[in-house]
Amino acid sequence: MEILDYLIIAVYFAASLLIALYYSKRAGKNTDEFFLSGRNLPWYLAGLSLVATTFAADTPLAVTELVAKNGISGNWVWWNFAFGGMLTVFFFARLWRRAGIMTEAEFAEIRYSGKSASFLRGFRAVYLGLFMNIIIMGWVNKAMTSILTGFFGIEESIVIYYVFGAMIFVALYSALSGLWGVVVTDAFQFFMAMGGSIILAVLVINSPQINGIEGLQSKLPEFIFDFFPTISSEADASSYGTAFALTLTSFLAYIGIQWWASWYPGAEPGGGGYTAQRMMSAKDEKHSLFATLFFQVAHYAIRPWPWILVGIASLVIYPELSYSEKGLGYIYAMRDFLPVGLKGLMIAAFFAAYMSTIATHLNWGTSYLLNDLYRRFYSVGRDENHYVLASRAITILLMIVSVIVTLFINRISGAWEFILQCGAGLGLVLILRWFWWRINAWSEISAMITPFVVYPFMLLFDIKFPESLFYLTGVTTLVWLTVTFLTKPVNDDKLKEFYKKVYPGGILWKKISDQLPEIKTNTAFAGMFLSWFMGVVLVYSSLFAIGSLLFMNYTETIIYTLLAVISLFVIYKLLSKQDWSIIN
């Protein structure tokens, strides 16, 4: 890189710091401002922040690896989560905003009662805010280290200190600015990261080695460009040269189980984690719904295509890469095709993707450790200045712990499979806890623990992912249902209090709603289900319309575009008819 490249990177860091300093005073007012932006985020900022957060440094590499090994259809490994994402939009976004809590973990004590509720709140604070959070941040740190190592050709043992320096910078601006600074910086970082990805894709596709989309299509077999996998009696996930196929059981696991059964950060069934944080930070219920709707469309339909194009092109440009090295094609393309200035922009864009993810995880994890552990159990009744100061200290400590964990992570491949399997079966509880009065704290606790008990048996009997989801989800569901009916239900007073606060509605609350005849909820489940279905159509039709346009399949482009327009119109009409008040 040249001086201009380094100057661009320096300007990016300076801009991020200025944003943090601008919002530092506002974040210091109280913890509501620090963690929830005073519950005053407009939908576009909340939505952009979610898109930026899920655009981690490793994401383009992961997508490149998927398409280089399995063609475009390999993305169904994560595209299936759109089903659950749209469920969050139309069923849960308003409920999270209505709950009036600071964190997902706090939900335990507004929904359940007794010592089990307190235990669940503290346990989730440590399990999600600390344990899972530092693993995810360590994995993102490792990915950023791999990117810089591949780009500059420097030893990883040296590069990792640059990554740690960037993380210290992120921790400082997160501690200063709270969520306001994080989301505004996220918006800035998203446009940088997305802009850099698009520029790289254009340069690679129009390079002499590829010679445009037609040149790319002429150099590779047709199956590489298929949007849907072949369903076969035997799995075929081999590298370039053989069509990607899924067994019927694998396909059913992705489409029929994974999206609702498994916990995964950013795609939690029913919302949760930093997704719930953004919903609870929105100005009102309408902004909460629109933020998550925008996130789902941008996340699945718009963002992946620049990465997919580079991933496919890497098969032509770097045929020597081994099966395990396919993801490096993206880094090598950055190194080989970007001119002076754009190299600096792209590295800054990757830092932006990296920092937006780390900033959110630091703020989100700190919110759990502060609100649901420190303030709830160890330091009750202190003033807001104390808790803001404690929040900033916990942010720095969380950063230090994640740095230590990063040193012990040797590989990131397969980490997402492990997380999906160890959260299998929990998703149904996270959904039903809003809509069925009989769910109690022990339901959640047993559903969180059971997959960890069953998972070693999957290894013992060599049951691979995603087929393992059938067993893990089945056993976990049987266990938590048994535990639910063997333990005492939440007392009626607590259930009534929750119902009056959130107004979930539905037949599974009839036992409680019959005792509250004065409350007439206006929950229109038929309209919500139709909105969900049309939302799923909107995402996939938009995704395939863009893809068809890129590959010059104009008939398919028109068909998918019409489907997207129709689905958007139906959603608009359904939402415009809704009474956004809680009670009739």
**CB distance 23 to 184 below 8 Å:** yes
Whether residue 152 lies inside any domain: the answer is: yes
| Per-residue model confidence (pLDDT) at position 387 | 93
| Per-residue model confidence (pLDDT) at position 510 | 92
Mean pLDDT calculated for residue range 475-485: 97
Confidence of residue 522 (pLDDT cuts 50, 70, 90): low
Give residue-wise pLDDT tens across range 345-361: 888 888 888 888 888 89
Higher confidence at residue 97 or residue 579?
Answer: 97
Share of the chain above pLDDT 90, in %: 52
Tokens for 138?
Answer: 């360590």
Higher confidence at residue 86 or residue 320?
Answer: 86
| Per-residue model confidence (pLDDT) at position 232 | 67
Whether residue 226 lies inside any domain: the answer is: yes
Whether the pLDDT of residue 540 is over 50: the answer is: yes
Torsion sign over Cα 175, 179, 185, 189? positive
Torsion sign over Cα 453, 251, 309, 196? negative
Confidence of residue 233 (pLDDT cuts 50, 70, 90): low
| Per-residue model confidence (pLDDT) at position 161 | 83
Whether residue 572 lies inside any domain: the answer is: no
Higher confidence at residue 201 or residue 341?
Answer: 201
| Per-residue model confidence (pLDDT) at position 98 | 92
Tokens for 172?
Answer: 């400082």
As a whole number of angstroms, the distance between CA 53 and CA 360 comes to 7
Whether residue 236 lies inside any domain: the answer is: yes
Whether residue 104 lies inside any domain: the answer is: no
| Per-residue model confidence (pLDDT) at position 137 | 86
Alpha helix (H) residue ranges in 206-302: 212-219, 248-252, 259-261, 273-281, 285-297
User: Environment class of residue 380 by beta-carbon count within 10 Å: exposed (0-12), middle (13-18) or buried (19+)?
Assistant: exposed
Confidence of residue 245 (pLDDT cuts 50, 70, 90): low
Q: Which amino acid is at 274?
A: Y
Q: Which residue has the tokens 């009534």?
A: 496
Residue 143: C-alpha distances to residues 100, 163, 416 (Å): 36, 10, 13
Give residue-wise pLDDT tens across range 126-154: 998 998 888 888 878 888 888 888 888 88
Whether the pLDDT of residue 164 is over 90: the answer is: no
Alpha helix (H) residue ranges in 132-245: 133-152, 156-205, 212-219
Mean pLDDT calculated for residue range 386-413: 82
Share of the chain above pLDDT 70, in %: 95
**CB distance 570 to 530 below 8 Å:** yes
Whether the pLDDT of residue 244 is over 60: the answer is: no
CATH of residue 131's domain is 1.20.1730.10
Rounded (5°) CA angle 222-223-227? 110
Give residue-wise pLDDT tens across range 250-272: 888 888 899 999 988 888 888 88
Torsion sign over Cα 283, 286, 292, 293? negative
| Per-residue model confidence (pLDDT) at position 415 | 65
What domain count does the chain have?
1
Which residues fall within 8 angstroms of residue 320, CB to CB, at 6 or more apart?
none
Which residues fall within 8 angstroms of residue 244, CB to CB, at 6 or more apart?
69, 70, 71, 73, 74, 223, 226, 229, 230, 236, 237
Whether residue 173 lies inside any domain: the answer is: yes
As a whole number of angstroms, the distance between CA 46 and CA 244 comes to 36
As a whole number of angstroms, the distance between CA 117 and CA 452 comes to 21
| Per-residue model confidence (pLDDT) at position 357 | 86
Give residue-wise pLDDT tens across range 33-42: 899 898 999 9
Q: Are strands 245-247 and 230-232 parallel, antiparallel or unpaired?
A: parallel
For residue 129, the enclosing domain spans 1-33+118-289+312-410
3-state DSSP of 201-220? HHHHHCCCCCCHHHHHHHHC
**CB distance 187 to 352 below 8 Å:** no
Confidence of residue 414 (pLDDT cuts 50, 70, 90): low
Whether the pLDDT of residue 239 is over 50: the answer is: no
Tokens for 118?
Answer: 């307190």
Least confident of 62-71, 198-207, 549-558, 563-572: 62-71
Whether residue 447 lies inside any domain: the answer is: no
Whether residue 458 lies inside any domain: the answer is: no
Whether the pLDDT of residue 405 is over 70: the answer is: yes
Least confident of 68-72, 475-479, 569-573: 68-72
Question: Which uninterrupted H or E stretch holds 340?
Answer: none
Q: What is the pTM of this model?
A: 0.91
Helices 59-70, 133-152: axis angle to 10 degrees equals 70
| Per-residue model confidence (pLDDT) at position 215 | 94
| Per-residue model confidence (pLDDT) at position 242 | 46
